[in-house]
């Protein structure tokens, strides 16, 4: 939901740039509203070159602590809202023969950490959706990129976050996780702007794109460990094929 300050800023932008900006208030969980917003943007601008699906929030708490409503709400916004907007924009981009859909995922869509289980799951779902969509629409001239940020100093972990009702059994684990995110772990969100603009302007954008300096080394370390485990069990896995 936009704040009064946000709306004032939008008014200033509209006054400065006129028809080059079309601010629309939208609840991404409302599929009909998503399709209506895309149609409104198409009618206003004539085309839609880029869609950035960045709506989402963090749900903090162990899996055991998480209520059904908390879990469903997390998936509705982080996954289904992104899905509905992607579906809505695809006919526009197919008709014009080009477009770029940027899905805001996370490094937590590639590796999982404790006490963010449902958030992890929502981003793993975004990863699977994005990779499949990229293969399906490449022939229409549409690119898809999964943007995978590490931690950044936004309100994702504060004002915009939701916390489960805690169980004392998980207090120690939560404290340990908090200690792991000190120092300069959280990047400066303003520094991401040039990187995203380069991504948008690229003629051959990647499917996966890290933001921040911690994502790549973290993912590399985790995946090297996974390959080591897979190698150990490769013979057993092959035998399970049965022929």
Q: How far is CA 213 from CA 166, 187, 216, in A?
A: 32, 8, 7
| pLDDT digit string, tens, across residues 170-182 | 999 999 988 887 7
The catalytic residue among 57, 86, 119, 122 is 119
For residue 193, pLDDT over 60 is answered with yes
Mean pLDDT of 43-56: 96
For residue 3, pLDDT over 60 is answered with no
**Superfamily of segment(s) 47-212:** NAD(P)-binding Rossmann-like Domain (3.40.50.720)
More reliable by pLDDT, 186 or 84 = 84
Across the chain, mean pLDDT equals 92
Mean pLDDT of 109-121: 96
pLDDT, residue 5, reads 45
| pLDDT digit string, tens, across residues 140-169 | 999 999 999 998 888 887 788 999 999 999
> 4: pLDDT confidence band, cut at 50, 70 and 90?
very low
Known catalytic residue at 123: yes
pLDDT, residue 160, reads 86
Known catalytic residue at 119: yes
The catalytic residue among 57, 86, 122, 123 is 123
For residue 11, pLDDT over 80 is answered with no
The catalytic residue among 105, 106, 122, 170 is 105
> 1: pLDDT confidence band, cut at 50, 70 and 90?
very low
The distance of Cα 192 from the centroid of its chain, to the nearest Å, equals 14
Q: Are 205 and 143 in contact (CB under 8 A)?
A: yes
Where does residue 111 fall: left (phi above 0), alpha (psi -120 to 50 degrees), or beta otherwise?
Answer: beta
């Amino acid at each position: 939901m936009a704040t009064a300050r946000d709306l004032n800023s939008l008014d200033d932008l509209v006054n400065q740039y006129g028809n080059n900006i079309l601010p629309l208030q939208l609840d991404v969980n409302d599929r009909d509203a998503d399709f209506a917003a895309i149609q409104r943007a198409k009618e206003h601008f004539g085309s839609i070159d880029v869609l950035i699906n960045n709506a989402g929030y963090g749900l903090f708490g162990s899996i055991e602590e998480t209520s059904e409503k908390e879990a469903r709400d997390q998936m509705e916004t982080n996954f289904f809202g992104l899905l509905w907007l992607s579906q809505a924009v695809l006919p526009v981009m197919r008709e014009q023969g080009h477009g770029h859909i940027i899905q805001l995922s996370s490094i937590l869509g590639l590796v999982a950490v404790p006490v963010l289980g449902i958030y992890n799951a929502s981003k793993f779902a975004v990863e699977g959706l994005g990779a499949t969509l990229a293969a399906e629409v490449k022939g229409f001239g549409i690119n898809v990129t999964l943007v995978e940020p590490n931690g950044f100093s936004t309100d994702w972990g504060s004002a915009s976050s939701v916390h489960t009702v805690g169980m004392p059994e998980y207090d120690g684990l939560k404290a340990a996780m908090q200690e792991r995110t000190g120092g300069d772990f959280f990047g400066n969100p303003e520094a991401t702007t040039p990187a995203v603009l380069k991504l948008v302007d690229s003629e051959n954008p990647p499917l996966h794109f890290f933001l921040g300096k911690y994502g790549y080394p973290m993912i590399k370390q985790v995946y090297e460990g996974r390959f080591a485990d897979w190698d150990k069990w490769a013979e057993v896995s092959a035998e399970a094929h049965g022929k």
